[in-house]
Structure 1
């Protein structure tokens, strides 16, 4: 009876995770459809450069891990445990790569707001390097410890996760620390700009909207930490794709 109850709970968690994954995929497609015209006009037609390539890769990378790599995990009929591990490893590394690209964009934005101050540039380079190393270490440990098993019954669809390391919550903690530092660095020049009475519209776009975005991302990270630490293993990644897409589209 205990095994049956555990299996029922797992199936419920998988159904919930599937709902969030589908919601994330639809949000991604919808958001891209809203901005595609502007991106073609102002991004795709602009001169090439590092920032343009960085933006395009970060913008469209989620289609790989949040849509295409979700399909085998959620709907594959004949996938074996080794295949599940390969798919989840690819998905995990692509997600962390997307986060790192997003942090790079945020770092460049803050550096621009500080008028490319050399000392701050060195600090930001150190910060994003430290963040990247920590994210890679945690992700490598988490993906290495993932364990999948054969289907518990013939009609089971997707991958059957049996064990996972909760160390993955540290990925979100690291992002929270990084975003807290970035938030402070954004608030300081924002207050100074407001006191000088500079262009109000520019102030709203660069500072007010930027600060709101950082607070929003910080709150998303807290939600994921609570989910990972408080719920059972089968709920470990239940909202990861959704939070991932929301975080990347906000940037």
Structure 2
């Protein structure tokens, strides 16, 4: 049987997507294996709080996402409607994972500002507007997007693609929100640096600014790549990669704070506010 050039190009694209998603799965599994000992210690010894429940959701929801996009890329999906339903389900959990990850950065910023109510209201109001707008844009975009399946037998998987301003508009909102969190954190970093008169690098590490910066860079990439390469078929991979990396960054930040909190307790240090609840160690900055 002869196939058209479009059929061959679609099948090739699906195969490349499958390889990329398998690489992401390997990376996520490797990260989990590397932190398994520390994570098991945290799950056994930490007290049950809302933040711990948020951690569990944020940390383990990507395993469900991995299963979903492996099903999308490695099982036969000749029916575009069935594929669209799976994409809708996957996208819903992807949005939940993204929201949970950002909640950690919001809580950390709130703690750095000594639980300032004005800062919290500002962040939550902005986050709510961003979430509602982004979710609406995303599912509108999916409903009007083009679903690709392979016409060549033996090539499984399906994907969706879209272009235009509507696609990366949600990432612009996310970028602006993350930029606000970075700005609020940098203000506290500068204040702490001036008062402590220590090394700036140490202050940046103490306030976890590099976790914020990584998330900001990923959002910038998801905004710029569709603009610079409008005909690329791999936007969704970048988006899914960001969702997974943000979950890793948020949970690693929390693990770091929890272990630091335990270390300070073991050293009989004075801790006014528990860092395992995303609060500053000294209760001031």
How far apart are 1:76 and its partner, in Å?
A: 1.0
Matched residue, 2:236: 237
Aligned pairs for 1:21-32 (under 5 A) are 21-32=21-32
How far is the alpha carbon of 1:233 from its aligned partner? 6.0
Report the TM-score, using the length of structure 2 for normalisation.
0.77
- Look up the match of 1:213: 211
Report how far residue 56 of structure 1 moved: 0.9
User: What's the CA shift for 1:199?
Assistant: 8.0
> Aligned partners of 1:12 and 1:227: how far apart in 2?
21
Aligned CA RMSD, in angstroms, stands at: 2.4
Q: Would you say the 8 A contact 1:113–1:189 is kept in 2?
A: yes
CA gap of 1:34–1:235, structure 2 versus 1, over 3 A, is closer
User: Quick one: distance in 1 between partners of 2:217 and 2:5?
Assistant: 33
In the TM superposition, what whole-angstrom CA distance separates every residue of 1:129-152 from its partner, at most 9, and x where no partner exists? 112112211122122223436642
CA apart distance, 1:202 = 7.4
Q: Give unmatched runs, 5+ long, in structure 1.
A: none
Contact 2:7–2:150 under 8 Å retained in 1:
no
Per the normalisation by structure 1, the TM-score is 0.87
Which structure 1 residue ranges, 4+ long, deviate > 6 Å from structure 2?
198-202
**Partner residue of 1:145?**
144
- Cα contact 1:228–1:237 (8 A) shared by 2: no
CA pair 231-9 structure 1, distance change in 2 beyond 3 A? farther
Rounded Cα–Cα distance in structure 1 between residues aligned with 2:186 and 2:148: 49
Deviation at 1:38, TM superposition (A): 1.3
Q: 1:110: Cα distance to partner?
A: 0.1
Give 3-state SS (helix, strand or coil) of 2:155's partner: coil
Q: Distance in 2 between matches of 1:73 and 1:48?
A: 35
- 1:93 Cα shift? 1.0
Residue in 1 aligned with 2:126? Answer: 127
The equivalent of 1:246 in structure 2 is 245
SS at match of 1:61: helix
- How many residues were matched structurally? 245
Structure 1 residues 7 and 205, CA gap change in structure 2 (3 angstroms): same
Runs of 5+ unmatched residues, structure 2: 251-285
The alpha carbon displacement at 1:237 in A equals 1.7
Larger Rg: 2
Q: Distance in 1 between matches of 2:70 and 2:211?
A: 30
User: SS of the counterpart of 2:114?
Assistant: coil
Bigger drift between 177-186 and 196-205 goes to 196-205
Q: Distance in 2 between matches of 1:217 and 1:160?
A: 25
More helix by share: 1
Q: Is the 8 A contact 2:134 2:173 kept in 1?
A: yes
Displacement of 1:95 after TM fit?
Answer: 0.8
